Amino acid sequence: MPVLTLDRILSSIGFGSRKECRSIVRMGLVELNGQVVEDPFLEFKERPAFITVNGEEVPTMEKLYVMMDKPLDVECSHNPRDHQSVYSLLPDRFSAMGIQTVGRLDADSSGLLLLSNQGDFIHKVESPKKGYLKKYRVTLARPFTQEQCEELLRGVMLKGERRQVLAREIKVEPSKNLEGKDAVLVSIGEGLYHQVRRMFAAVGNHVETLERVSIGPVVLDNALGRGGWRFLTEDEVKFLS
Ligand code: URA
């Protein structure tokens, strides 16, 4: 095991190459416990929980597990075509650490988006075998009928797919005000391209708004606000692993 030095720690959490990190330290931009540290080769037995870089207190863990409340008009891509990227809503250093979205949400969908730099975690959560239900709240252009509901629960064939997909659970959430539309909460097991929109289109309706509210046991934290993010708690990571 190489000796754990300050430049190695900074580099492992996305502040650049070890050479770049050494110069950040020599510029006096790094503090530990309120003291500027000028020696980039300072050795540690264990990672300190936090390091202050450029006035910002930064946690030092290498494994990233993040929940975001994705806003509309933001793309889940490192090379977005028409909008800004979800990665631009996170610290740049997360991209340097290899963060990726766990599945995707369309640009015109909002809500719970998970991100991580741990391939096995991403794979597990995305895998339909693991069976995490993804729950969405949608509003529709036309009234949602009993027939449409039953058809979705029985299963529909989507163009270009080999197997039927079905809604695992459907619940209608009446609007809280008279002018507002009812919302439909729908849970699915897979994550096919535009799946929820295509399923409602297949039964003759049209999704106007779509928000993801949960993935398995992890529920969108409404305190984040659109565009906000936080690290997953240890329990949330454990529940999904
Ligand atoms: N289904 C969709 O149609 N869009 C999403 O973003 C997610 C699920």
Mutation to probe ligand 1, out of 75, 109, 184, 185 (largest number of atoms < 8 A from CB) = 109
Longest dimension (CA), the chain: 70
| The pLDDT of residue 133 | 96
Q: Is the CB of 70 under 6 A from ligand 1?
A: no
131-150 mean pLDDT: 95
**Which residues are the active-site residues?**
106
- Chain mean pLDDT for the chain: 95
* Long-range contacts at 123-126 (CB < 8 A, ≥ 24 apart): 124/240, 124/241, 125/215, 125/216, 125/240, 126/102, 126/191
| The pLDDT of residue 115 | 98
| The pLDDT of residue 2 | 85
Record the pTM: 0.93
**Residue of minimum CA distance from atom 3 in ligand 1:** 194
Strand 183-188 versus strand 169-173 pairing type: antiparallel
Q: Taking CA 96 as the corner, what is the angle to CA 91 and CA 99, rounded to the nearest 5 degrees?
A: 75
Per-residue model confidence as pLDDT tens digits over 105-127: 999 999 999 999 999 999 999 98
pLDDT band at 177 (very low <50, low <70, confident <90, very high): confident
Is the pLDDT reported for residue 98 higher than 80? yes
Least confident of 25-29, 181-185, 212-216: 181-185
74-102 mean pLDDT: 96
> Counting atoms of ligand 1 from 1, which one is nearest the CA of 105?
6
pLDDT band at 180 (very low <50, low <70, confident <90, very high): confident
**Residue of minimum CA distance from atom 6 in ligand 1:** 105
| The pLDDT of residue 175 | 83
Q: Is the CB of 188 under 6 A from ligand 1?
A: no
Contact between 149 and 103 (Cβ < 8 Å): no
Mutation to probe ligand 1, out of 152, 185, 196, 215 (largest number of atoms < 8 A from CB) = 196
Q: Is the CB of 210 under 6 A from ligand 1?
A: yes
Q: Is the CB of 109 under 6 A from ligand 1?
A: yes
> Going by C-beta distance under 8 Å and a sequence separation of 6 or more, which residues neighbour residue 91?
14
Q: Is the CB of 168 under 6 A from ligand 1?
A: no
> Counting atoms of ligand 1 from 1, which one is nearest the CA of 191?
8
Per-residue model confidence as pLDDT tens digits over 40-56: 999 999 999 999 999 99
Q: Token match 């699915």: residue?
A: 188
Is the pLDDT reported for residue 178 higher than 90? no
Is the pLDDT reported for residue 179 higher than 80? no
